[in-house]
Amino acid sequence: MASAVTSINDIKVLKLAEVHAKPSKSMMSYGTAGFRGKANELDHIFFRMGLLAVLRSKCKKAVIGVMVTASHNPEEDNGVKLIDPHGEMLQQEWEVYATKLANVGNDEIIKELNNIVKLENISLEEQATIFTARDTRPSSIALSQAVKDGIAALGGTSKDFGLMTTPQLHYVTCMFNCGETDASEESYYTHFADAFKSLVKEKSDSSIVTVDCANGVGAPKLQKLYEHIGGSIDLVVHNNAEVGNGKLNENCGADYVKIQQQAPVGLNMEPYHRYCSFDGDADRLVYYTLDSDCNFILLDGDKIASLFAHHIQELLADAKLEAKLGVVQTAYANGSSTNFLKDKLKVEVACVKTGVKHLHHKAQDFDIGIYFEANGHGTVTVKESWRKLLASKTTQTNEDEANAAKRLQTFLSVINEAVGDAMSDMLAVEAILHAKDWGVREWSALYTELPNRQMKVKVADRTVIETTDAETRTVKPSGLQDGIDSLVAQYVNGRSFVRPSGTEDVVRVYAESDTQENANSLADKVSSLVYDLAGGTGEKPKCS
């Protein structure tokens, strides 16, 4: 099998590997969202991920997606990730292959490819088809070409969808592999718009949403979706680089709003109007508004998950349907949201490590699994066996129960089950608010968040931090967890944890308490402790 690779592909691979040469000292690892870094340092990574995508396609005998984006990162960054056949993240075992292939010397590429072929027993006679897409970064066109060069070098076929949101490529890849050979960007709009219009037949006076698109690909794609929705809702697009001069993710977007807890640049807010923000590739969503005293109110991933759980639970009750309903969170989830889900809704809550791949996997343990990171990245998964049960309930003779089952079935169709999707999640939120005749005031009142603060501490080597219990506690360095516990005990409703970043040498700090002043103070003290015990560099961070 290895000889087949050498005889058929080695000359072309090696020739193009020289064109996309690896810098001698470059070392990177495949993280939760693939590879990310400064765009001018990544050309060889993109070429090699094109090679890997071909082997993955041959191995799975299915179409694989390759997305070129760095999501919420600054515009000068870029990144690449592979999408598996059903729209899910790349299988974790293959992340290891990706990291090895990215880091070997140019003269070792063939050997590494052969190793993968042998370990996975890949038939090289299989066809390979790769769907590619990119975001709006200036570097994305050239880096997409590097991916396509890698695909061509191993004899694969690429179909380039051009500009797309990340969730759109996940959706199209999944639908094609599920038998919809005409899966396209247009079919994406048609599917989600039709489901939404079935739930929201006419807009109410309050159905106006201002959407900050982070000057990213979400702006033109949201406008296309809006054309398909018709008169069901009014959308106002803000931070659209096509009609302004704003920079991607700069002082705008979901990550900015979540971390800074303030409106994006250029947005003049009005009390209780609905605002939401996407990130650069439109897979994160957060809502926000002002109260009557012009205090900023954030409705993040925790609030979205709670709204979904509340609505789904009501529809299950109306339809007289039993389902194992669960919500998956990370340690970043606000303590009040966890208490609301457990104590008020009586919903099972699971906590997993940070990273969508961990949440998605755990959500599939439930008949209906809702997962959201606090940053607004999340979706709902449904077991196929339970989906069939739901479909059978829509034909029951009891009209009220059948109608409730139909509403739940349609609501689940509004959600992009393959991955977190800012556009489809926004439609789901709006459908629920319409059904309940709620605004953001009523939604926000589900529970009151504990004030919190996030910080990051620059360190010489983030690997000195080791964690356990879904990253809620540290085991190294010695004394750090005892110090955190001692500090937390000094604050009412205090909670704090630290974890190493997956992409840079920083340690992320989270703290919450009964007041914003106390949350800031706790975050400061924990950050200072991390700085002292974990080899902090530069100036000590301080938020208060």
Which one-letter DSSP state was computed for residue 500? E
- The residues pairing with 455 across neighbouring beta strands, listed in sequence order, are 509
Report how far apart the first and last C-alpha atoms of the chain are (Å, whole number): 62
- DSSP secondary structure letters along 379-424: EEEE-HHHHHHHHHHTT-S-HHHHHHHHHHHHHHHTS-TTS--HHH
Query: What is the maximum span of the chain, computed from C-alpha positions, in angstroms?
Result: 72
508 is in an annotated binding site: yes
Cβ contacts of 102 within 8 Å, gap of 6 or more: 28, 29, 30, 35, 44, 45, 48, 49
Question: Nearest to residue 63, comparing CAs of 218, 170, 212?
Answer: 170
365 is in an annotated binding site: no
503 is in an annotated binding site: yes
Cβ contacts of 112 within 8 Å, gap of 6 or more: 100, 101, 104
421 is in an annotated binding site: no
Report yes or no: 276 and 257 within 8 Å, Cβ to Cβ. no
Residue linked to tokens 């008020």: 344
363, two tokens: 């959500």
271 preceded by a cis bond (ω within 30 of 0): no
495 is in an annotated binding site: no
How far are the Cα atoms of 2, 70, 241 from residue 250, in angstroms, in the given order?
Answer: 47, 13, 11
Q: Is 371 helix (H, G, I), strand (E, B) or coil?
A: strand
- DSSP secondary structure letters along 190-245: HHHHHHHHHH-SS--TT-EEEEE-TTSTHHHHHHHHHHHHGGG-EEEEES-TTTS-
442 is in an annotated binding site: no
d(CA 454, CA 539): 17
251 is in an annotated binding site: no
Exposure class string for 388-414: b at 16+ Cβ within 10 A, else e: eebeebbeeeeeebeebbbbbbbbbbb
Active site residue 71: yes
375 is in an annotated binding site: yes
Report yes or no: 206 and 241 within 8 Å, Cβ to Cβ. no
64-68 sheet: strands from edge to edge: 35-38, 77-83, 64-68, 129-134, 157-163
Residue linked to tokens 């959500």: 363
Question: Nearest to residue 421, comparing CAs of 283, 269, 529?
Answer: 283
77, two tokens: 């960054």
Q: How many CB atoms lie within 10 A of CB 505?
A: 16
Catalytic residue among 71, 140, 336, 444: 71
374 is in an annotated binding site: yes
Active-site positions read 71
Query: Which residues are known binding-site members for Mg(2+)?
Result: 71, 279, 281, 283
Binding site membership for substrate: which residues?
373-375, 499-503, 508
Annotated binding site: 71, 279, 281, 283, 373-375, 499-503, 508
